Each structure stands twice: as C-alpha cells, then as structure tokens.
Amino acid sequence: MATNLLQAGFALTVHNRNRQREAPLAQQGAQRAATPAAAAAAAPLLCLCLSDDNAVRQVLIEGEDSAIHGLAPGSLVIDFSTIAPATSEALASELAQRGVAYIDAPVTGGTEGAKAGTLSVLVGGAAEDLERARPLLAAVGSRISRFGAVGAGQRVKAVNQVLVAGSYAAVAEAMALGQRLGLPMQQVCAALGDGAAGSWALKHRAANMLSNNYPLGFKLELHRKDLAIALAAAAETGLQLPISEKVAAIEEALMAAGHGEEDVSALARWFMG
C-alpha cells in the first residue's frame, strides 16, 4: 500500500515498529521517521495499518512518542487497521478534542489486492473527511465505500471476516473431500470456479490447500482476532454465528499447534489431518 502511494506521487514519511521494514520504502524515495510522533509532524494525512486495538492505541495516542504528539489541528488520521468499532469511536473522540479528524478505513482484498492497488476500502467517518482522503485512498483501492459515521467501516469489516471464515472453511472442507474421493482436484477446481461454487477463496487459495503449503497472505491469528470482533458484535445484537464460532475454534486449535502465523488457508490443515 505504501509503495502504491509513492508510485502515485505522494510525499511519504514512514515509521514501522520494526525499523528494518522501512528500508525498502526508503530505497523507493520515502523519508524515514524515528517515532510515530515524528512521522505525524507536519503531515496533513496520517495513515495507520496495525495489527490490533492495543497496537493502534499505543502508536496513535498512548505511547510516549505516539503520533498524537505530532499531529497538528486540522490534520486527518486514516486508520486502515481492523479493530473494534468502539475503539475507532473512542480514538475519534479523543483526537477531536485536539482538532484532529479520524476515519476508520479497514480494507479487504488480500495481499494480491494490496500489491495491485485494488483493495476495497470500507469507510466510517464524516463525508467531508472521506473527500479529503479520497485521492490517497484511490491509490490503494479500486472501490471506496462510506457506510456512515466512525465505526461503520469496522462493522462492515466484521461482516467481511464472517464471510471469509465461511468461504475459506468451505473450500478447505471441499478440498479434503475431493482428495479423499480420489478426484483430480486441479480439474475439479477449474470446472467449479465459474459456477455457483466459485469464490475468491477457491480461486486464490485452493491450490495452496491441495499442496499443503500456506505462504502468508493474511495471518490466521489475525483472522481469529477479527472473528472475535465479529462474534462480539453479533452477541451485542443477540445473534449467534455458529459457523463463525466453529471456525474460531478450529483456528484456536491450529494456533495452539503453532500455525497461527501461516495464512488463513491453513484452515485446511484441520480438515486434512
């Protein structure tokens, strides 16, 4: 995503908690900042893309060198992280006290979409803040959708992760069944991909499942974190999500077995034994 911003002509300053990860971007022309506060200094737009709620709070508002100490009134925070809607709402409230605007803008589309700049960006926030952010968002995503006030983007991402849970699990089950039946599974996938059973997971992850090889696209442990957000949101409405609950339990078993840092498609390990 940062590479796409550079290629689109944005002047970019970057900071990563793992400082080595800044190096490739610096080679492409980005400036490096020693702290989040330094990265935010004089930046009209600040983008975050972090692993969970605690990381976002630490980098944005709680740390000694957090970005809030560098953000100027009138600036805008664009949070690509997937976190709880209530966390986004609390962050927006605290930043507003300093005259800083905030939108939650979680993304979906996998590493493939991130590299191609074709992510779907799910936005919660004021319409005028989205318009300020739109040129930047257009460099990382091909579809930008606003769903309401701050927190709405995170709620849509929760729906997305429920769909991901079901589709990945279904593909994993189907691959396991096909192999047990002795079918030519590459041919099966090609035949089914354009039919009613076709899906992003079948197209992009079935081959990995069949080869029992799970190069990282999106960590299984992060999807489990996202499912926790979705399950909590469902519980607040009195809705039970039995499929997502089952997938969450499978992911916990795989994490306990040391597979948490593999791609979500490693769900197939549970079905294939």
Q: In what order do the strands lie in the sheet with 45-48?
A: 45-48, 76-79, 101-104
Q: Across residues 80-103, what is the average pLDDT?
A: 98
Rounded Cα distance between 100 and 115, Å, is: 29
pLDDT tens digits, one per residue of 20-53: 999 999 999 999 999 999 999 989 999 999 999 9
Could you give the residue range(s) of every CATH 1.10.1040.10 domain in the chain?
154-272
pLDDT at 232: 97
**Angstrom distance (rounded) from CA 232 to CA 248:** 12
Alpha-carbon span 173 to 89, nearest angstrom? 38
Is 115 part of the annotated catalytic residue set? no
Contact in structure between 264 and 223 (CB atoms under 8 Å): yes
Domain with CATH 3.40.50.720 in the chain: 2-149
Q: What homologous superfamily does CATH list for 154-272?
A: N-(1-d-carboxylethyl)-l-norvaline Dehydrogenase; domain 2 (1.10.1040.10)
| pLDDT score at 241 | 98
CA distance 47 to 131: 15
Question: pLDDT tens digit string along 138-180?
Answer: 999 999 999 999 999 999 999 999 999 999 999 999 999 999 9
- Neighbour-count burial for 167-178, b at 16+ CB within 10 Å, e otherwise: ebbbbbebbbeb
pLDDT at 208: 96
Condensed to tens digits (0 to 9), the pLDDT of residues 112-122 reads 999 999 999 99
Residue-level pLDDT at 272: 81
Q: What is the pLDDT of residue 27?
A: 96
- The pLDDT of residue 167 is 97
Q: Which of 48, 16, 11, 49 minimizes the C-alpha distance to 29?
A: 11
Per CATH, the number for 2-149 is 3.40.50.720
**pTM (global) more than 0.75:** yes
Q: Print burial letters for 117-147: b (CB count within 10 Å at least 16), e (below 16).
A: bebbbbbbbbeebbebbeebbebbbeebebb
Task: Report the pLDDT value the prediction gives residue 158, as an integer from 0 to 100.
Answer: 97
- Measure the CA–CA gap between 221 and 18, rounded to whole angstroms: 19
Contact 71, 77 (CB under 8 A): yes
Question: Does residue 273 register a pLDDT over 90?
Answer: no
Yes or no: say if 67 and 49 are a contact pair by the CB < 8 Å rule.
Answer: no
pLDDT-based confidence at 185, cuts 50/70/90?
very high
Residue 63's pLDDT is 84
The 3 state secondary structure assigned to 7-30 is HCCCCCEECCCCHHHHHHHHHCCC
User: What does the alpha-carbon distance between residue 142 and residue 212 come to, in Å, rounded to a whole number?
Assistant: 32
Residue 67 pLDDT > 80: yes
Q: Which of 115, 157, 203, 246 is catalytic?
A: 157
Q: What is the CA radius of gyration of the chain?
A: 20
Can you tell me the mean pLDDT for 233-243? 97
| Residue 207, pLDDT score | 96
